[in-house]
């Protein structure tokens, strides 16, 4: 009996750590890239969207990390290659170039930071640079991160919201406010729902990121997003 329990535990752990080992070859691939300033909350959103967990004091990313996730949409198995990019200013050009041929780009902005008039210029520039590189039917979503109860103590929260909505309207693109800290957050659900539209896109039948697999850390993830 103990042996059976041990085997079961090992089997369950294998599934939880890397469900893709049981997944077949996907029908299509979709590139998803998270971009934004240093410490804007990209990694926390990344983990909440695809692992449903949150850790305080998540270290800022200083390298590219990809997680592969498969999901069946409209009867097609789609593998999402989700890239969590570095946010330091020194990596700006590299990150923007990395969005080439992306299907989805989430531009993440920390709404809990102090309001700065330069943010609008930065976000507008980032949107334009990304828009020039993604696929013709690709989607850009402006994400206001860290949008939770902490805003009760942030006097400029309304200014941050106005800023993002103004940039999104002028771009134009979708705008979502989300909190990785809150379980069941509606903004996180909205971001997942955007990925559900991949079934209507002109997706690649071959892995668009195969050339990067030896250059970057690849973390295999879950077979299902929802």
Q: Which of 96, 109, 117 is nearest to 36 (CA)?
A: 109
pLDDT digits 0-9 by tens, 160-182 = 888 899 999 999 999 999 988 87
- Spatial separation of the C-alpha atoms in residues 114 and 97, rounded to whole Å: 28
For the chain, residues with pLDDT lower than 70 are 1-23, 52, 54-63, 87-88, 149-155, 213-226
Is-contact 28 79, C-beta < 8 A? yes
pLDDT at 199: 92
pLDDT at 1: 52
- The residue ranges of every structural domain in the chain are 2-220
Q: CATH top-level class for 2-220? A: alpha beta
User: What DSSP string describes the chain?
Assistant: -HHHHHHHHHHHHHHHH-GGGG----SEEEEEEEEESTTSSHHHHHHHHHH----TTPPPP-S-EEEEEEEEETTEEEEEEEEE---SGGGHHHHHHHTTT-SEEEEEEETTSPP-THHHHHHHHHHHHHHTTS-TT-EEEEEEES-SGGGGG-TTHHHHHHHHHHHHHHTT-EEEE--TTSTT-HHHHHHHHHHHGGGGS--BSS-TTGGGTTTSEEEE--S---
- Spatial separation of the C-alpha atoms in residues 189 and 31, rounded to whole Å: 19
Is-contact 222 50, C-beta < 8 A? yes
pTM attached to this predicted model: 0.81
pLDDT at 72: 92
């Amino acid at each position: 009996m103990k042996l059976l329990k041990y085997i079961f535990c090992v089997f369950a752990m294998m599934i939880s750590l890397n469900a893709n080992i049981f997944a077949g070859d996907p029908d299509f691939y979709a590139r998803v890239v998270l971009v934004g300033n240093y410490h804007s909350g990209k990694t926390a959103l990344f983990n909440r969207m695809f692992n449903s967990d949150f850790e305080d004091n998540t270290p800022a990313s200083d390298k590219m990390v990809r997680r592969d996730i498969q999901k069946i949409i409209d009867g097609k198995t789609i593998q999402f290659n989700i890239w969590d990019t570095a946010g330091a200013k020194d990596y700006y050009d590299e990150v923007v170039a990395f969005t080439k041929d992306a299907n989805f780009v989430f531009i993440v902005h920390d709404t809990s930071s102090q309001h700065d008039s330069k943010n609008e210029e930065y976000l507008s520039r980032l949107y334009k640079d990304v828009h020039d590189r993604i696929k013709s039917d690709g989607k850009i979503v402006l994400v206001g991160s860290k949008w939770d109860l902490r805003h009760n103590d942030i006097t400029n929260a309304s200014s941050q919201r106005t800023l993002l909505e103004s940039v999104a309207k002028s771009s134009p693109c979708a705008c979502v406010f989300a909190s990785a800290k809150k379980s069941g957050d509606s903004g996180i659900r909205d971001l997942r729902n955007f990925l559900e539209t991949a079934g209507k896109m002109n997706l690649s039948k071959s892995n668009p990121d195969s050339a990067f697999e030896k250059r970057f850390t690849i973390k295999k993830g879950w077979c299902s997003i929802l």
